[in-house]
Chains A and B, each alone.
Chain A
């Protein structure tokens, strides 16, 4: 782990439903609370009895071996799949019966494990699509180029540039998203997700395919995003330097079941986690 990413450990405190969140967020409703969440595909139980809470400004991690159900949890949270049982509370509001689009409007934005950009559109248009629900003109205004078209497009352009500047990507605004290098595509996905103005950002393996220095930079940026936008982040990641470096609360999943929850130090030394996932040679 590089020097620049060493951070003060956060104290986690329990909330009523046996979940833990950072001490500083404890007087606010957790942004996300899952209660006994589960989904079956036919006879196969992919996720079962998943309980988790995330504080308003927490960076949380979800780790576990391949096929443990991590991405399935993301798909449940964003309603790509409807849960078979259990409840998801987003800022205290039940998301039952919401669609993917409604969940996004309610405040969850995500990135994808296998990058899903709008590959034939420019980088700027990709970000503007994230801003879609914050641009206020309709079809006819667009066709007839009424004054509000020019006004709204100018605001969207400025906002898009501002968001791209988080990752120093303003210079790439006119490039086709599909022709960006891999790392830049991952960063663009994060910018696009941020553009929807979420209160919870889900990152699915944000550091996949990045080299150690890119990963270190990404860690700083995730923390910067949390600090600037005051949002919560939940990330899936296999890179333990990233998870142990920036996550405050970590949840370990194995065969669809949570096997451990706690601070990075607790997780690192949990014998069950070491057996199921980390392996005996300790990392970090």
Chain B
């Protein structure tokens, strides 16, 4: 009884977010079901967008952990998505004969994607997390570009002897029945689409579970303490690098699994897909949804992934309209009058705060 009483304030907001995701899933599943499909309630374009939306939602959630909760600006988040996407897809293709069923193979691909992204997160985190502010942003930006170039020059093949790797030039001689998995700049082609909307939905729930429970624990408090005041955090005995690393690597791991989910919903995959623009796009989701506000990230990621498709009627002016919509939404969400109005309307504690979670450094 005491537990529920004590945690009620934050728990309420968290449960509302879980509820929102579950409700959205139920509605979309219903609209997408065969009975309704005839009526054309869910357009084929939108149905094709469901898996990418889930992937971008998880990307936004995970980046919000770094930017909103830890308070460090990362401009290379797409790099972790890329690592997860390629390692996960290669694993999925390599295991095609061993595990024919799509579901378990997707699960393994996502776990492998998360594992590789974790390793990348640790490797980049060790030198980078000693830096602060602008320096960290610039180094993460460089990291994203490095990952892109590395994968562009990587060749992976498979034959009876196992996996073969080569770098920059393709000089591998594959045996009988050999198959190129990753073909340098050509990327991966002919991916067997095994990602499903349900898998994406489950991944969003997992991401929410990990982030919410991490934030409302001893470790999460320490991470937020670093955001609010690093010097004070050190003075009460909180090791800075350890907790920065924890948030950064958790964020990378979630981005890796989102990458695997995304990639296995595509026909083909090239490394330039995960460039600086993608990192910025995810950062836009986070900033628009509100730093530290997970439900905001979900809505922003979903809405802004659908928006370019919804704006097809504007044809040539599509990106112009997209940019104008972004500016208008930013202005609207930062308008004190509107904010006060919405705060009154929903009476949610998080909304009364002005979403300036990351500014207290």
Q: B-contacting residues of A (Cβ < 8 Å)?
A: 78, 80, 99-101, 104-105, 109-110, 112, 116-121, 125, 128-130, 132-133, 135, 137-139, 141-145, 149-150, 152-154, 156-157, 174, 178, 192-193, 195-196
Q: Among residues 278 to 309 in chain B, which have CB atoms less than 8 Å away from a CB atom of chain A?
A: none
- Bound Cα distance from A118 to B218, whole angstroms: 14
B236 touches A193 (CB 8 A): yes
B232 touches A116 (CB 8 A): yes
Beta-carbon nearest neighbor of A79 in chain B:
B234
A192 touches B217 (CB 8 A): no
Beta-carbon nearest neighbor of B71 in chain A:
A120
Flag B210-240 by CB within 8 Å of A: 1 or 0 each.
1001101111111011011101111111111
B-chain residues with CB within 8 Å of residue A178 when the two chains form the complex:
360
B234 touches A100 (CB 8 A): yes
Chain B: interface residue total (CB-CB under 8 A): 33
Q: Among residues 87 to 116 in chain B, which have CB atoms less than 8 Å away from a CB atom of chain A?
A: none
B234 touches A118 (CB 8 A): no
- Bound Cα distance from A99 to B241, whole angstroms: 13
Contact of A149 among B217, B222, B228, B238 (CB under 8 A): B217
A-chain residues with CB within 8 Å of residue B225 when the two chains form the complex:
118, 121, 129
- Bound Cα distance from A174 to B349, whole angstroms: 12
Q: Taking A132-B222, A157-B6 as contacts, is the C-beta distance between A101 and B228 under 8 angstroms? A: no
A-chain residues with CB within 8 Å of residue B3 when the two chains form the complex:
150, 154
B231 touches A116 (CB 8 A): yes
- Bound Cα distance from A6 to B239, whole angstroms: 42
B213 touches A143 (CB 8 A): yes
Task: Tell me how far the C-beta of B1 lies from the nearest C-beta in chain A, rounded to whole angstroms.
Answer: 12
Task: Tell me how far the C-beta of B181 lies from the nearest C-beta in chain A, rounded to whole angstroms.
Answer: 33
Q: Taking A100-B234, A132-B237 as contacts, is the C-beta distance between A118 and B224 under 8 angstroms? A: yes
B235 touches A119 (CB 8 A): no
A-chain residues with CB within 8 Å of residue B37 when the two chains form the complex:
none
- Bound Cα distance from A139 to B234, whole angstroms: 19
Beta-carbon nearest neighbor of B227 in chain A:
A120
A110 touches B235 (CB 8 A): yes
Contact of B238 among A129, A139, A143, A144 (CB under 8 A): A129
B228 touches A118 (CB 8 A): yes
A121 touches B237 (CB 8 A): no
Q: A-contacting residues of B (Cβ < 8 Å)?
A: 2-3, 6, 9, 209-210, 213-214, 216-222, 224-225, 227-229, 231-240, 246, 357, 360
A-chain residues with CB within 8 Å of residue B240 when the two chains form the complex:
101
Most A CB within 10 A of own CB, among B209, B357, B360: B360
Most A CB within 10 A of own CB, among B210, B218, B246: B218
Contact of A142 among B2, B214, B231 (CB under 8 A): B214
B-chain residues with CB within 8 Å of residue A99 when the two chains form the complex:
234
| Consensus secondary structure, chain B interface | helix
Task: Tell me how far the C-beta of B6 lies from the nearest C-beta in chain A, rounded to whole angstroms.
Answer: 6
A109 touches B219 (CB 8 A): no
- Bound Cα distance from A141 to B236, whole angstroms: 22
B229 touches A118 (CB 8 A): yes
Q: Taking A101-B238, A120-B360 as contacts, is the C-beta distance between A143 and B210 under 8 angstroms? A: yes
Extra inter-chain contacts (17) besides given A118-B233, A129-B233, A132-B221, CB under 8 Å: A104-B237, A109-B235, A109-B236, A112-B231, A116-B231, A117-B229, A118-B228, A118-B229, A129-B221, A138-B218, A142-B216, A142-B219, A142-B220, A143-B210, A156-B218, A157-B6, A193-B235
B229 touches A138 (CB 8 A): no
Contact of B217 among A78, A100, A109, A142 (CB under 8 A): A142
Most B CB within 10 A of own CB, among A109, A110, A120, A125: A120
A135 touches B218 (CB 8 A): yes
B219 touches A121 (CB 8 A): no
A104 touches B224 (CB 8 A): no
B-chain residues with CB within 8 Å of residue A156 when the two chains form the complex:
218
B237 touches A128 (CB 8 A): no
Most A CB within 10 A of own CB, among B217, B220, B233, B235: B235
- Bound Cα distance from A105 to B222, whole angstroms: 16
Task: Tell me how far the C-beta of B24 lies from the nearest C-beta in chain A, rounded to whole angstroms.
Answer: 24
Q: Taking A118-B232, A133-B237, A195-B236 as contacts, is the C-beta distance between A154 and B2 under 8 angstroms? A: yes
Q: Taking A142-B217, A178-B360 as contacts, is the C-beta distance between A121 and B224 under 8 angstroms? A: yes
B210 touches A132 (CB 8 A): no
The 10 closest A-B pairs by CB, nearest first: A142-B217, A116-B232, A104-B237, A118-B228, A100-B234, A143-B213, A139-B219, A116-B229, A133-B237, A118-B225
A-chain residues with CB within 8 Å of residue B239 when the two chains form the complex:
101
Beta-carbon nearest neighbor of A156 in chain B:
B218
- Bound Cα distance from A99 to B239, whole angstroms: 10
B-chain residues with CB within 8 Å of residue A119 when the two chains form the complex:
228-229, 360
A129 touches B236 (CB 8 A): yes
Q: Taking A120-B360, A157-B6 as contacts, is the C-beta distance between A112 and B237 under 8 angstroms? A: no
B224 touches A142 (CB 8 A): no
Task: Tell me how far the C-beta of B147 lies from the nearest C-beta in chain A, rounded to whole angstroms.
Answer: 26
B-chain residues with CB within 8 Å of residue A153 when the two chains form the complex:
218
B229 touches A101 (CB 8 A): no
B237 touches A101 (CB 8 A): yes
Contact of A132 among B229, B231, B238 (CB under 8 A): B238
- Bound Cα distance from A224 to B233, whole angstroms: 26
17 inter-chain pairs at a CB distance below 8 angstroms, sorted by A residue, are: A100-B234, A100-B235, A109-B235, A116-B229, A116-B231, A116-B235, A117-B228, A117-B232, A118-B224, A118-B232, A121-B221, A128-B221, A132-B222, A135-B218, A142-B213, A145-B213, A149-B217
